Amino acid sequence: MTTHAGTTTTDTHCPYCSLQCGMGLRAERGSGPGIDSDASKDPGAPGDRDVSVEVVERPGFPVNRGALCGKGQSAAEVLRRGVRLTAPLVRGVDGVLREAGWDDALDRVAAGLAAAGRAYGRDAVGVFGGGGLTNEKAYLLGKFARVVLRTANIDYNGRFCMSSAAAAGKAAFGVDRGLPFPMEDIARTGCVILVGANPADTMPPALRYFTDMRAAGGRLVVVDPRRTRTAAQADLHLQPVPGTDLALALGLLHLLIADGHVDEEFVAARTVGFDAARATAMAHWPERVERITGVPVEAMREAIRMFVSAPAAMVLTARGPEQQSKGVDTVGAWIDLCLAAGKAGRPLSGYGCLTGQGNGQGGREHGQKADQLPGYRMITDPAARAHVAEVWGVDADSLPGPGRSAYELLISCGEEIRALFVMGSNPVVSAPNAAHVQTRLAALDFLVVADVVLSETAALADVVLPSAQWAEENGTMTNLEGRVILRQAALPVPDGVRTDLFTLNALARRLGVERGFATDAEEVFDELRRASAGGAADYAGITYDRIRAEDGVFWPCPDVAHPGTPRLFLDRFATPDGRARFAAPTHRAAAEEPDAEYPLYLTTGRVLSQYQSGAQTRRVPTLNRAASGPFVELHPDLAERMGVGEGDPVAVTSRRGRAVAPARLSREIRPDTVFMPFHWAGEGRANSVTNAALDPVSRMPEFKVCAVRLERVAKVESAAGEGRAIASDGVDGAGFGFGGGAGVDAAVGVGGR
Ligand code: SF4
What share of the chain has pLDDT > 90, as a percent?
A: 84
The predicted pLDDT at position 441 comes to: 98
Give the alpha-carbon dihedral of 290, 295, 298, 302, to 10 degrees.
Answer: -130
**Nearest Cα residue to 193 out of 55, 275, 312:** 312
For residue 205, the ligand 1 atom closest to its alpha carbon is 5
Show which of 353, 387, 402 is a domain's final residue: 353
Mean pLDDT of 295-323: 97
Cβ–ligand 1 contact at 72 (below 6 Å): yes
Q: Is the pLDDT of residue 744 over 60?
A: no
Same domain, 249 and 325: yes
Kind of pairing, strands 727-728 and 731-732? antiparallel
Burial of 559 (0-12, 13-18, 19+ CB in 10 A): exposed
730 vs 134, higher pLDDT: 134
Please state the atom number of ligand 1 nearest to the C-alpha of residue 206.
Answer: 5
Do 362 and 348 share a structural domain?
no
What is residue 356's predicted lDDT score, i.e. its pLDDT? 85
DSSP string, 138-149: HHHHHHIIIIII
Identify the band that residue 28 occupies on the pLDDT scale cut at 50, 70 and 90: confident
In this structure, are residues 320 and 330 in contact, taking their beta carbons and an 8 Å threshold?
Answer: no
Look at residue 29 in the predicted model and tell me its pLDDT.
76
One domain for residues 427 and 547: yes
Residue 311 lies inside a defined structural domain of this protein = yes
229 with 336, same domain: the answer is yes
Both 333 and 229 in a single domain?
Answer: yes
CATH number, domain with residue 679: 2.40.40.20
DSSP labels, 272-316: E-HHHHHHHHHTS-HHHHHHHH---HHHHHHHHHHHHHSSSEEEE
Tell me the best of 25, 61, 63, 68 to mutate to test the pocket of ligand 1, counting ligand atoms within 8 Å of each CB and taking the most: 68
| Domain CATH for 227 | 3.40.228.10
591 part of a folded domain: no
In this prediction, residue 438 carries a pLDDT of 96
What are the pLDDT digits (tens) for 406-458?
999 999 999 999 999 999 999 999 999 999 999 999 999 999 999 999 999 99
Instruction: Please tell me if the CB atom of residue 140 comes closer than 6 angstroms to any atom of ligand 1.
Output: no
Range of the domain at 264: 168-353
* Ramachandran sector of residue 116 (left: φ over 0; alpha: ψ -120 to 50; beta: rest): alpha
Query: What is the model's pLDDT at position 47?
Result: 47
pLDDT at 49 (0 to 100): 60
- Is 269 contained in some domain? yes
Picking from 551, 567, 583, the residue at the C-terminal end of a domain is: 551
Does residue 328 register a pLDDT over 50?
A: yes
Residue 720 has pLDDT above 90, yes or no: no
| Predicted confidence (pLDDT) at residue 614 exceeds the cutoff of 90 | no
Nearest CA to ligand 1 atom 3: 69
Are 608 and 683 contained in the same domain? yes
What's the rounded mean pLDDT across residues 722-748?
A: 33
Pocket test for ligand 1, best of 18, 65, 69 (most atoms within 8 A of CB): 69
Is 742 inside any structural domain?
A: no
Same domain, 349 and 365: no
Q: pLDDT: is 737 or 74 the higher one?
A: 74
Quick check: is 717 in a domain? Answer: yes
Select from 426, 339, 460 the least CA-distant residue to 618: 426
Residue 569 confidence (pLDDT) above 90:
yes
Ligand 1 atom, smallest distance to 19 CA: 7
- Residue 26's closest CA among 87, 75, 93, 65? 75
Pocket of ligand 1 contains residue 69 by CB under 6 Å: yes
Last residue of a domain, one of 329, 353, 377: 353
* 355 pLDDT tier (thresholds 50, 70, 90): confident
Residue 68 CB–ligand 1 contact under 6 Å: yes
What CATH number is associated with residue 105? 3.40.50.740
Distance (angstroms) between ligand 1 centre and the Cα of 283 equals 42
Residue 344 has pLDDT above 60, yes or no: yes
Query: What is the strand order of the sheet 350-353 is part of?
Result: 236-238, 219-223, 191-195, 313-317, 350-353
Predicted pLDDT of residue 739: 28
388 in any annotated domain: yes
- The answer to whether position 488 is within a domain reads no
- Regarding whether 650 and 719 lie in a shared domain, the answer is yes
The pLDDT tens digits for 214-253 are: 999 999 999 999 999 999 999 999 999 999 999 999 999 9
Pairing of strands 632-634, 658-665: parallel
- Asked if 398 and 546 sit in the same domain, the reply is yes
Nearest CA to ligand 1 atom 4: 21
The structural domain count of the chain equals 3
Residue 735 carries which DSSP code? T
pLDDT tens digits, 463-480: 999 999 999 999 999 999
Would you place residue 607 in the very low, low, confident or very high pLDDT band (cuts 50, 70, 90)? confident
pLDDT reported for residue 628: 86
Task: Say which DSSP state 194 is in.
Answer: E
Is residue 738 scored above 90 in pLDDT? no
Q: What is the mean pLDDT of the chain?
A: 91
Q: How far is CA 752 from the centre of its chain?
A: 27
pLDDT, tens digit, 9 for 90 and up, residues 384-394: 999 999 999 99
CA of 134 to the centre of ligand 1 (A): 16
In the chain, the percentage of residues whose pLDDT exceeds 70 is 92
The finding on whether 20 has its CB within 6 A of some atom of ligand 1 is yes
Peptide bond into 59 cis (omega under 30): no
Across 87-91, 576-580, 622-626, 636-640, least confident range: 622-626
Q: Are residues 205 and 345 in the same domain?
A: yes
Cβ of 132 less than 6 Å from ligand 1? no
The residue type found at 578 is G
620 in the same domain as 645: yes
pLDDT for the residue numbered 34: 61
* Helical residues (DSSP H) of 144-273, grouped into ranges: 163-173, 199-202, 207-215, 245-258, 264-270
Same domain, 398 and 291: no
What value does the mean pLDDT take over residues 286-303? 98
- Cβ–ligand 1 distance for 21 under 6 Å, the answer yes
Test site for ligand 1: of 12, 13, 16, 18, most ligand atoms within 8 A of the Cβ: 16
Interatomic CA distance for residues 23 and 10, integer angstroms: 8
331 within some domain = yes
Residue nearest to atom 2 of ligand 1 (CA): 17
Q: Is the pLDDT of residue 733 over 60?
A: no
* Ligand 1 pocket check for 631: Cβ under 6 Å: no
Which stretches of 357-442 are DSSP H helices?
360-365, 382-392, 406-411, 427-430, 434-442
Q: How confident is the model at residue 718 (pLDDT cuts 50, 70, 90)?
A: low
Q: For residue 572, report the distance from its CA to the centre of ligand 1, in Å.
A: 33
**What mean pLDDT comes out for the span 715-735?**
41
Residue 373 has pLDDT above 90, yes or no: yes
Contacts of 389 (CB under 8 A, 6+ apart): 395, 396, 398, 399
Q: Is 19 in the pocket of ligand 1 (CB under 6 A)?
A: yes
pLDDT, residue 613, reads 84
What is the spatial distance between Cα 237 and Cα 228, in angstroms, rounded to a whole number? 10
Q: Ligand 1, closest atom to CA 358?
A: 7
Angle at 597 between CA 595 and CA 601, to 5 degrees: 55
